Structure 1
Amino acid sequence: MNYQIITEQSDLERVCHQAQQTDVVMLDTEFVRIRTFYPLLGLIQLFDGENLSLIDPTVFDDMSPFVALLKDTSVLKVLHACGEDLEVFQNAFGCTPFPMVDTQIMAAFLGHGLSTGFASLVSEYIEVELDKSESRTDWMARPLSVKQLEYAAADVFYLMPLYEKLLEKVNEAGWWDAAQQESDLLVSKRIKDIDANNVYRDIKGAWQLKPKQLAILKPLATWRYKEAMKRDLALNFVFKEADLLLVARDAIKSSQQMEQEGIDSRAVRRHASRIIAMVKSAQQTPEDQYPEQIERLMDNPGYKQLFKHLKDEVKKASTKSGLATEFLASKKQLNQLLTWVWKKDRNPSVLPDVMQGWRLELMGENLDKLVK
Structure 2
Amino acid sequence: MLIPSEPIWIDQDDQLAELCAVWRKQAAIAVDTEFMRSDTFYPIAGLLQIGDGKGCYLIDPLTISNLAPLRELMLDTAVTKVLHSCSEDLEVFQRWLGVVPAPLFDTQIAAAFAGLGFSLGYSGLVKNLLTIEIPKDETRSDWLQRPLSVAQLKYAALDVAHMLIVYGKLLQLLKTSERLEWVKSDCADLVANARKLEDYSDAYQKVGFAWKLRPQELAILKQLCIWREREARARDLPRNRLIKEPSLWEIARKKIQDIAHLSKVPDIPSRTLKNDAEIILQIVRDALELDESSWPARLEPPLAQSEGPLMKALKNYVREYAEQAQLPPEVLIRKKDYEYLVRSGMQGGAYQLPARLMGWRFTLIGEGLLKVAQTQSQQSETL
TM class by smaller structure:
over 0.9
AA of the residue aligned to 1:41: A
CA distance in 1, matches of 2:313, 2:98: 42
Q: CA deviation at 1:255?
A: 2.3
AA of the residue aligned to 1:355: M
Aligned to 1:196: 200
Aligned partner of 1:310 among 289, 310, 314:
314
AA of the residue aligned to 2:269: D
**1:16 equivalent in alignment to 2:16:** no
| Worse overlay, 324-333 or 2-11 | 324-333
CA distance in 2, matches of 1:158, 1:135: 18
Q: CA deviation at 1:224?
A: 0.9
% same residue: 36
Aligned to 2:252: 248
Q: Deviations over 1:184-223 (max 9, x none)?
A: 1222334433322222112222112111211211111111
Aligned partner of 1:283 among 280, 288, 311:
288
Aligned to 2:265: 261
CA distance in 2, matches of 1:11, 1:347: 57
Aligned to 1:6: 10
Aligned to 1:298: 303
AA of the residue aligned to 2:274: R
Gaps of 5+ in 2: 375-383
Secondary structure in structure 2 of the residue aligned to 1:97: coil
8 Å contact from structure 1 (residues 113, 327) kept in 2 = no
Gaps of 5+ in 1: none
Aligned to 2:135: 131
Aligned to 1:58: 62
Aligned partner of 1:370 among 358, 369, 372:
372
CA distance in 2, matches of 1:186, 1:71: 15
Secondary structure in structure 2 of the residue aligned to 1:223: helix
Distance verdict in 2 for CA 1:97–1:123, change over 3 Å: same
8 Å contact from structure 2 (residues 49, 56) kept in 1 = yes
CA distance in 2, matches of 1:339, 1:50: 53
RMSD value over aligned CA atoms? 2.2
| Worse overlay, 129-138 or 161-170 | 161-170
CA distance in 2, matches of 1:341, 1:40: 45
CA distance in 2, matches of 1:247, 1:288: 22
Distance verdict in 2 for CA 1:174–1:51, change over 3 Å: same
Aligned to 1:352: 355
Aligned to 2:378: none
Q: CA deviation at 1:160?
A: 1.9
Distance verdict in 2 for CA 1:125–1:242, change over 3 Å: same
AA of the residue aligned to 1:292: A
CA distance in 1, matches of 2:183, 2:262: 50
Aligned partner of 1:104 among 79, 102, 108:
108
Within 5 Å, give how 1:129-278 maps onto structure 2.
Answer: 129-262=133-266, 263-278=268-283
Aligned partner of 2:339 among 332, 335, 344:
335
Within 5 Å, give how 1:105-120 maps onto structure 2.
Answer: 105-120=109-124
8 Å contact from structure 1 (residues 4, 52) kept in 2 = yes
- Segments of 4+ moved more than 6 angstroms: 340-343, 345-348
CA distance in 2, matches of 1:223, 1:346: 38
State TM-score, norm by structure 2.
0.90
Q: Deviations over 1:38-85 (max 9, x none)?
A: 111111101111132111112223211111111111111111111111
Q: CA deviation at 1:2?
A: 2.0
State TM-score, norm by structure 1.
0.92
